[in-house]
Amino acid sequence: MRKDYFKDQVALISGASRGVGFALARKLVEAGAKVVITARTEKRLLDSEAKLKALGGSVVSVVGDVSNWDDAQKMVQAAVDNFGRLDILVNNAGISMRGNFADLSIEVIRQVAETNLMGSIYLSRAAIPFLKSSKGHLVFISSIVGLFGVPGSSIYCASKGALKGLCESLRLELHPLGVHVGIVYLGFTEHDPEKRILRPDGTGSPPDRPAHHSQAYAADLIIRLIEKRKAKVVMTPIGKIGAVVSRLFPGFVERAVLFAQSRNLGIYQRFS
């Protein structure tokens, strides 16, 4: 991180009461940025705000749902009202699910799709006028399964994959105006004890796969993407290999997944 690069910059991070979002907020606060954090659960969000303020940070929290247009506008406006500008938006809020598509309740489909995709669309739409003024950064947090589909995660893959197209379109629209647009494809990240993944019926279950990397490591790579104004970062070796192979030899990837699924191999258990 370059010394003083983030000092006094204003960052809005959605889904920042825990996980990667909170880890990123902490690093930005430590680097001198002013930070707005958002989440749906008020108590956890206020606890996280207090922790960041204890580090000496200028922090504001906004309770709301990014999939609600009015809430998205409120989040962006909070940054402008409290700090006078907006330099960085990180679309981090997201929901994970697990289950075969035919078994998913309509509510699970709606909730995952609206939060992961529409939430990023709404926040970006509300923030872009201010990011144009600051020639700032618009960042999307996707997943390596947004690069290629895996069984049991259809709506999650679809919503995260859609961010790729959104990001690429906005990069072409906003680059001439000086706005940096980037996307991060995370691997399966270290989780907080209370994190839950939606089952087909909408109930929550704890994550059942080993983490590929820590929250702090993910936050470091997001910061590097912002600082260097990079177009994308793909995390984990298998994510990088999978991205290349799926683009060049999509049939091979499908056959490999089907083979691993039929044999219930360890790599299938980690990614399915």
Question: pLDDT, tens digit, for every residue of 101-118?
Answer: 999 999 999 999 999 999
Q: What is the CATH number of domain 10-236?
A: 3.40.50.720
What single-letter DSSP state applies at residue 211?
A: -
Helix axes 154-174, 106-113, angle to 10 degrees: 20
Place of tokens 């909070």: 78
Tell me the C-alpha to C-alpha distance, in Å, between residue 156 and each of 48, 72, 81: 26, 21, 34
Predicted structure pTM score: 0.89
The pLDDT averaged over each successive group of 10 residues in the chain (272 residues) is 86 96 97 97 96 96 98 98 98 95 97 98 98 98 89 94 97 98 85 74 75 83 97 75 60 64 54 46
Residue 236: CB partners within 8 Å, gap ≥ 6?
144, 187, 212, 213
Active-site hit among 5, 122, 156, 217: 156
Per-domain residue ranges of the chain: 10-236
Give the pLDDT confidence score for residue 268 in this predicted structure.
45
Give the pLDDT confidence score for residue 237 in this predicted structure.
55
Query: From the centroid of its chain, how far is CA 86?
Result: 18
Is residue 156 part of the annotated active site? The answer reads yes
Among 113, 111, 124, CA closest to 69: 124
Kind plus residue range of the DSSP H or E element containing 72 = helix 69-83
Give the CA angle between residues 243, 247, 253 to the nearest 5°: 75
Helix axes 119-134, 154-174, angle to 10 degrees: 20
Give the pLDDT confidence score for residue 252 in this predicted structure.
62
Phi/psi region, residue 248 (left: phi>0; alpha: psi -120 to 50; beta: rest), is alpha
Give the pLDDT confidence score for residue 267 in this predicted structure.
47
Give the pLDDT confidence score for residue 151 in this predicted structure.
86
Summarised one tens digit per residue, pLDDT across range 127-186 is: 999 999 999 999 999 998 898 888 899 999 999 999 999 999 999 999 999 999 999 999
Query: From the centroid of its chain, how far is CA 16?
Result: 10
Q: What percent of the chain has pLDDT over 90?
A: 72
